[in-house]
Structure formats: C-alpha cells, structure tokens
Chains A and B, each alone.
Chain A
Amino acid sequence: MRKVFDFHGGIHPAENKHQSVRSPIADAGIPPELIIPLSQHIGAPARPLVSIGERVLKGQMIAEARGFVSVPVHAPTSGTVHAIEDRLIAHPSGYLAPCIVITSDGQDEWTEHNGVSDYQTLEAADLINIIRNAGIAGMGGAGFPSAVKLSVKADTHIKTLIINGTECEPYITADDILMREQAYEIIEGTKILQQIIAPQETLIGIEDNKPEGIAALRAAAQGTGIEIVTFPTKYPSGGEKQLVEILTGQQVPSGGLPSQVGVVCQNIGSTVAIFNAVVHGQPLISRITTVTGESVREPQNFEVLIGTPVQYLIEKAGYQREENNRLIMGGPMMGFTIPDTDVPIVKTTNCLLAPSEAELSTPPPAQACIRCGMCAEVCPASLLPQQMFWFAQGKEFEKLEEHNLFDCIECGACSFACPSNIPLVQYYRASKAEILQLRHDHEVAEQSRIRFEARQQRLEQAEEEKEAKRAARKIAAQQRAQAAEEGGEEDPIQAAIERAKAKKAAQQADTGDESELETLEKAVVSTHKRLGTATAKLEQAKAEGSDLVDALQTGVDKTRDKLTAAEQALKDCQQRLGTHSAEQPPADGAQAAIARAMQARTTEASLSPQEKARLDLKKLQNRLQKSQAVLIKSRDNAEEKKVIDALESTVARLTDKINAVQQQLNAAEDA
C-alpha cells in the first residue's frame, strides 16, 4: 500500500453522489439542433472550415485550431450547417459567442476515420498530433488543450504520470460512472499516455468514496504496472496541485506547473477520449455529463453529444422547472448559474445541477467578517482568505498579489466555511480580473508611451535636419560674400549690378557729347530690340504651355508701351529740331550695323568664290564649335531633354552644312 499525504485545509460538504449512479450511462440521443461554440477550451478560438448550408458528417472537422494553444472542433453528428453566428453560451457573463449551428439529419453518418490499434509502434509526437487533431481539451473543468499539456519540454524530466479520478466536488459522478463502465478504455488510454510521456510510475488517484469504480479499475489494471491509489475523501483533493501533493508529497511551487516537480496530470475523461482518438480514430464529439439535483426526476449520467442544448438534455432526465431554483453548470462549489436553458453542452460540462430551493437555498445576506480564521484553516492553497478579503474590499491590489492571490484555485472552501456567509471567492475572482485588466492596461499604456516618444524623437530629428540645412545654406552664402570681398571670384549678382551701373554712368557721361536726338533714337532701337526678344520668349512660352505666359505677356505689353512712348518722344524731338538730316552720319546702332553689313557684303563680293567658300567654312566651323560647347555644357548641367535635343539637331545641321560647303570648296578647287 502506497503512502498517501495530506494537504492543508479542505472541507467535507455533503457528497450527494449516490442519486446519479443508480442507473448506467444513458445515451442522450441526437437533438434536432446542435450549437457548437468555437471556443470550448483555454486558448485561441477555432477557425470555421465549413460554410452555411454545407452537409457535414459525424466526426468531420468543422473548425481548425488557431495557434499552438488551441484545439479543433468536430461535427458531433451528420447534418447541415444551419448557421455560423453568435449564440448564447454557457458562460457566467451571459454574452454571445461565435458558434456553428448544425441541424442534424438523424442518420448519424460517420465520416471516414481510422484508428491505430497497435499504437505502441507510434512515436510520441505522432500520438500528440492525433490527440491535438481529435480536439481533446481537459475534460475535468478548465479545458486546457491536452496536447499542449503532454508536449513537455525535452529538458523536463517527468517522473510521475497521474490520472485524476478524484472527482471531489459534490453531486458530480461523471468520472465515477466512467470508471465503473469503461475501466478497460481508461487503462488503455493511460497506456497511450505512458508511451507519450514515459514516466517512471503511473498512478490513478481516486477518492475512497467510489468503491465500485476502484474495484473495476483495479481489475482492469492487473499486471499493467499502473497503480490505483485511494485516499480519504476531502474537498478539493481533485485540484491538480492538491492531488500532486497527496500522491507525491511534493508541493508545486507558487505560480508554477506540476511539471516543475516532475508530474503530468490528466483527467479520467480525457484519458478515455485519448483512447477513442488513437484506437478508434474518433475525435472528441461526446462526453459523459451528470444531470442531477432534486428538480430532476431521474438523476443520471448521459453520454451526450457536444453542442446539445441544455434544455434537451434536462428534459431527458425529467426536469421540473417549477421546482428548480436555478440551473447550475458544474458542481455546487465551482459551478455557475447558466443564463438560459438554450445554452449548449461543451467539452468541459461535467455536470448540470438542478437543485430545489430546499437543497441549495438562496444564501442569507453576508455579515461582517469576525476574523474567526476558519477560512484560513480550510484553504487548500494555504492562503489567508480573511486578509485577502480585506484587501479586495479596499482594492489594494499590490497587497493582494503579495498575499499570493493568484494561487487561489477558487474552490469555494473559504466561502463554505465562512460563518458570516461572505461570498469570498467572488471577491478574489473580481480582484484577479481587475489585476489582470490593470496589467493589460499598463502594457497598452507602455506601448503608447513608446510610440509617443518615438514620434517625438522623429519630429525633433526632422526639425534638427531642417535647421542644419538652413544653417549650411547661410554659411555658404556668407562664404560667397566673403570670397567676393576678398577679390577672388566676383559675386555674379554684384558684378551684374556694377556693370549696369557703369553702363549708366557711361551713358550719362556720353549725353554731354551726343545730342538728345541720338539718345532718343538709341532708346527706340533698344526698346524695339527688347520688344522683339520679349515677344519671341512669349511665343516660346505659349508653345511650351509654360506657367510664365502671364508674366511674359505683361512684360511684352509694358515694353510695347515703352516703345510707343519712346517713339513719341523721338518724334517730338525731331519736330522740335526741325527736319532730320539724312546726311548725318548713321549714328544709331542699327544703321551702323547695316552699314557694316553692307561693307562686308561688298568685300565679300570682291572675293573669289573659293575664298568666299573658305570664309563660309571657317564661320561655320566656328559656329559648330560654339554649338558643341553649349551642348556639352547643357549635358553636364543635365538640362531638360528638349533643350539638349534642340542643340543636338543644331550641331547636326551645322555639320551637314560644313560638309556641303567643304564639298563645294573641293569641287571649286578641283576645277
């Protein structure tokens, strides 16, 4: 006989288990409609794989696991997908959650599924994969994905595998009936788990209030090396940490996992589900649920399809609505009142409790805490509930954490023991949630702070860069000015201004010698020239559709006005001075140029055609050189393509001309 240990605290509530084990497991049958929530486990909700109107077969995967800590969902029977929508689920909040609704066709037609009878040949990873794909999540209550629990890290040494058959909560008998009726499956499932984990010892822990179950398992476990360990009944010995302590004497550290002391725990129900998944290839689509309480005529255990509405199931057990005070999912200690009887049975629903008012009466109002310390005596996690109650009321979250609030398993022993009827567990649940919320808020705030600071930094940097550019421009301008002052390279603007000034001065100096008339004539000529260039520019701008058209237009208009004014002034002057002498030497630039051109023409005329051609050639060559220089310059400056193209064509034209002239010249010389 193995030595068993005791854990701190615990209570002995009325067991009330006998009512529901009088008859064997009954098949609940196929309800007309099944509501299958996508999230029946701890972790990410599954992702639907089917569409509305699609026919699904029994055991077909209808939603896949999303992420590592997640499990898939399978169709519990054959039928059509009626809807994928938010439905009321069994959750204390009464909120809706995404569900796949299947209308069953009653044929219960299986999808193709193959089991592996000689699972001994499979690797641990393959077995874990089968378990994951079968959608198995801890069926004891919390619903933690079994595959994740079994995927222990390579460096963790697991000494003990514990199968939890404790079922310590009053009223619930789902595991008890399973042990009585399916002992073989439990032992086989345990063997599969042994193969995955390869522990030194395998224990099945059962409270001593289930003698039939213990006897059945003992018989089935003969010669397998699996040890059935019984221990005195006490609530909550089925808590994972408590069971580890009972069986091994070791305490799981605060905030730690059983694997830290070399233990892996699995529930009896999960073991059977694993057996069915591996040996029969059947995913988790049904479970054993106890329906009990004084408000049902025939309390018993049902094999019920996942997704069966609670209403359907309780009617099978002879539910008396008028007698029922409230309908509880789970046991009387840790369960919660369900918001409506339309909610579905999920993978973690081990019990439906329909007590009468006399059975579980409405609690009297809470009284003040009298600091009796009974709660601390019964706390299985060795916490100080009365202290935590105090801190929870004052919202002193730091103090609560210091008092290890997060080690509370919410078993309800403290509330049960409290003579003042204080709903202690609710204070802890609310405080835990509040602390988690605050942690989450703080994380979000931290993220915002980082983003805010990054933005500030970016803006500052942009501003600095701008400032640096501005400063660089300023320095460059100063340097240029300095260079100009020092007589080095002249500032072009300054030089232009000076040139203009010098010109004006020269003009003014000239006026003394030149007649007023000459000045006016010059003005008319230069204005005329300017008007010409301005008009040409305007035309060009118009042709190119430049933005400067308006500005150029006003410029042209102004120049034209000036020209008219200058011509008027010239006319006035001429009239004043009498007739304009024709013999007067051609004083104005244009006439001088004409004269020069005519002279050139005459000299040209006197030249031989050969000389003339040579002269032309020389001129053309000069022009070509100039054009080429301009072209190279514009290329270097990377000017617009248009400009470069125009220059290129000019160069080409000139080259052609030169060639022609050269040929002419050659012909003339040959002659």
Chain B
Amino acid sequence: MIDLLTQYPLLAALLALVGLAAVFGALLGFAAEKFKTEGNPIADEINNILPQTQCGQCGYPGCRPYAEAIAGGEAINKCPPGGEAGVQALADLLDLTVLPLDEEHGEAKKVTTIAFIREDECIGCTKCIQACPVDAILGAAKQMHTVISSECTGCDLCVEPCPVDCIDMIAQEESLKTWHWQLPDPVSRRVDIIATDVVLGNASEDRAA
C-alpha cells in the first residue's frame, strides 16, 4: 500500500483530498444538525422593533406576520403606529435605506388613543371582543363590555365591527404623569445656562407684555 502510494504520488494526493473532504463534510453535516436555529432569528429582532399594536394596517394579521414578511423582503414602511422612528430603526437593523411611511397604510398618529365603550349603549354582541387582537375587551354575550385601558393598544380594530357605534377612540392627553422635558428648541435657544428650565423665554415675554 505504502509502496503503491509512493509510486503514484497523484493517487496519494487524491486519497488525501478525498479523505479530507469526507471528514469536513461529516463535520459540517453534524454541525448543521446540532446547531440548527429554530425559526428566523431576524424576524424576532424585527418583531422586537414593531410597536405590537396588532392593528393590521400593514395588511398582515398582526405584527409577527409582518415581521416575518419583512424578513422575507417586504417593504419596511408599512407600519404607521411605528412612525418614522420605527422605519428608521428597521432600516438600521436591516441596513436598508429609510423610506417615508407608505400613505396607503394610513398616517402615523400624533397622539396615542385608547378605545372606550359607552357602556349604557353597549348591547353585548361580543363583536368587538372577537376583533380585539390583544384580548383587552372584557364582557360576555348580552352583557355589557368594557375595555381594559392598560392593555388597549389603540389599534381601532374594535370600532368598525360595533353594530351600535358605541366605541370611541379617546386621545391620551399629556398629563403630569406623562410630561417630560423636551430638547431645547434648536431655533430660538432662548434658554438659560444656570437655572436650567425651559419656559424662561416665554415667561419673560409674558411678563413684559
């Protein structure tokens, strides 16, 4: 055998290569089985960025399906609740160009809203309960329904099925709890350097007036 190989170096090289190919092939095959990833990890990351309103404005039945569609090459600008910031984040993640929101799928809301059922008008038809993607409506057939406001995503999906139009989308106005400091106005920049407050410029003008 050794003699044969020394006699035919070509054969030796061939054997060595075939041997190596077999070993690495087996190794790759093993790794592919052992370290197989379940599902699409990029879809998870995309889903993490989506706002989870589950409103279906993108044309998919929920955020997860849209995340999977984006992972499969769908446009990233079909999510109005995510707004421009959401498109930006998706573009950063997927290394795509930032697109303006597709107006076909609705405009970004300026203020967050939550559903409110006018309870004395509710007839207890359960249609809104079936429409709610996050199970945020409580009630039973022929019983009054109500929205669990802390769970409502403001997706509007319950408004359309209501046969008596007793659901309002109420804008969540800014309150003491939700108020926070804003970045200084880059145009006027009439703010003080020592006492760090925002309303200075306006306040002094008001007094002068």
Contact = CB atoms under 8 A, between A and B. Distances in A.
Interface of A: 13, 91-97, 324-326, 328, 331-337, 339, 353, 360, 362-363, 365-366, 392-393, 410, 412, 415-416, 418, 421-423, 425-427, 429-434, 436-437, 441, 445-449, 451-456
B203 interface: yes
Contacts of A429: 180-181, 196
A456 B132 CA distance: 11
A446 B184 contact: no
16 contacts: A95-B179, A325-B204, A332-B195, A337-B195, A353-B195, A360-B192, A363-B192, A366-B184, A392-B183, A421-B193, A425-B196, A431-B183, A448-B54, A448-B153, A452-B52, A454-B135
Contact of A423 (B54, B134, B176, B192): B192
A452 B194 CA distance: 48
B199 interface: yes
A77 B190 CA distance: 42
A334 B189 CA distance: 19
Given A337-B203, A446-B52, A455-B133, A430 B181 contact: yes
B135 A92 contact: no
Contact of A433 (B181, B200, B207): B181
Contact of A437 (B180, B195, B197): B180
Given A92-B199, A332-B195, A363-B192, 7 more contacts: A96-B176, A336-B197, A337-B203, A430-B181, A437-B180, A445-B51, A449-B63
Interface in B61-93: 62-64
A333 B196 contact: yes
B175 A423 contact: no
Q: Sort A-B residue pairs by CB-CB distance and give the 9 closest, nearest first.
A: A433-B180, A445-B52, A429-B181, A93-B179, A448-B52, A451-B134, A95-B176, A336-B197, A423-B191
A366 B190 CA distance: 8
A425 B198 CA distance: 11
A73 to B, nearest CB: 17
Nearest to B175: A95
B54 A452 contact: yes
B176 A426 contact: no
B87 to A, nearest CB: 14
A272 B43 CA distance: 59
A434 B180 contact: yes
B interface, over-half SS: loop
B136 interface: yes
Given A430-B181, A445-B52, A452 B192 contact: no
Contacts of B64: 449, 452-453
Contacts of A421: 193
A425 B135 CA distance: 42
Contact of B194 (A333, A422, A434): A333
B160 interface: no
A353 B197 CA distance: 14
B151 interface: yes
B134 A452 contact: yes
A415 B196 contact: yes
B204 A92 contact: no
Contact of A337 (B52, B184, B197): B197
B54 A337 contact: no
A339 B53 CA distance: 37
A94 B63 CA distance: 38
A410 B183 contact: no
A360 B136 contact: no
Interface in B141-170: 151, 153
A189 B207 CA distance: 44
A426 B189 contact: no
